[in-house]
Amino acid sequence: MRWFAGTYRKLKTQRQGEAIIVLNAIVWGFFPVLILLIYQTVAPLVVLAWNSFFATLFFALLVTFKKQWQQVFDRRVWKDILYVAFFLGILLYALYYSGLLYTNAGNASLIGQTEIFFSYLFFQVWKKDKLSLVHGIGALMMVAGAVIVLFPSFTELRTGDLLILLAMACAPFGNYFAKRARTKVSSETVLFVRSFISTPFLFVLAIFFGQDAFTDATVSVLPLLAVYGVLFFAVEKILWLEGIHRIPVTKANAITCITPLVTLLTVWIFQGEIPTAFQVFSLIPLGLGLILLSMNGQRGQSVQDA
């Protein structure tokens, strides 16, 4: 009876994690298209810095509302969160935002799926975390679906593509430390400290590259930057951290293969680009991949906690 109860709780936790990551992937699917629209007015690193600033304010309000300030000063997590801030808050997003300036939304979404490969190397090869055969096949099918979606438009590796590829290589390191910190304190605490540390560095980085953060054009779109910061740097990050707290990072990354499809649908709605036959056909492996990833897998498969 105890074994049954434990198995049920574990399965319920996995289902919650999968649902959270699917929602996260849908939110993130809008990102490349919407952020490219604002690039017409504001420089990339300036957008990044302001997004991080508004996310910091949002997390500060959450930490205050939930009375979690004592967690912010918990020295047990400082080292982990410093690594999270460096790999995810500064390095990854500086590379990703800069890369978007030199590529299109479709290529960005496709190259973003290489995070699955880098996560596999980090978590399954180096850290020896378990991933069942069923989930492994599901992950491969979702990668195949993502490739089918964007294969016709993927022609050559450009500077922006390379920058985004480097950004994806940073992700597993940050996710590892974020997952470990989440076992000790709340998501809001981890993300507040990460944003609080990252934001000043991002403003300095923008200034270093000659991007003025306080131009009239920037001030005119601050309300929009605030919305982007809360949506993509706060809500989306909470969803991601809560998701990988419940399921393996590699599995979470595989589920996010639906993101390119969301991106292409967004392009269709906002820019009138009709999906191609390749994109429609990709629904088959993407759907099958999601089904396989939602299965319980082999006995002994466990929810990973770093």
**150 within domain boundaries:** yes
At 84 the pLDDT is 93
> CA 295 to CA 137: how far, in whole Å?
11
> What percent of the chain stands above pLDDT 90?
24
Would residue 302 count as lying in a domain? no
Q: Is residue 306 part of a domain?
A: no
pTM comes to 0.73
Please spell the DSSP secondary structure of 198-211, one letter per residue: HHHHHHHHHHHTT-
Identify whether the C-beta of residue 109 lies closer than 8 Å to the C-beta of residue 165: no
Predicted pLDDT at 299: 38
- By the 8 A CB rule, do 160 and 39 touch? no
DSSP, residue by residue, 45-96: HHHHHHHHHHHHHHHHHHHHHTT-HHHHT-GGGHHHHHHHIIIIIIIIHHHH
99 within domain boundaries? yes
Secondary structure element (H or E) that encloses residue 137, with its range: helix 133-150
Query: Which single residue is written with the structure tokens 């709340």?
Result: 186
Per-residue pLDDT at 305: 35
Overall average pLDDT of the 99-111 stretch = 74
* Domain count across the chain: 1
**Is 292 exposed, middle or buried (CB count within 10 Å of its CB: 0-12, 13-18, 19+)?**
buried
229 and 58 Cβ atoms separated by less than 8 Å: yes
| 266 SS3 class | helix
Q: Is 178 part of any domain?
A: yes
Residue 79 lies in a domain: yes
Residue 3's pLDDT is what? 44
134-158 tens-digit pLDDT: 767 776 776 776 667 556 555 555 6
User: Which has the minimum average pLDDT: 215-219, 264-268, 277-281?
Assistant: 277-281
Q: Is residue 257 part of a domain?
A: yes
**Higher pLDDT residue, 94 or 40?**
94
CA distance 31 to 24: 11
Smallest Cα–Cα separation from 188: which of 93, 70, 105, 295? 70
Residue 14 lies in a domain: no
Residues 6+ apart with CB under 8 A from 276: 152
- DSSP assignments along 152-183, one per residue: GG-----HHHHHHHHHHHHHHHHHHHHHHHHT
3-state secondary structure of 97: helix
Range of the domain at 72: 19-294
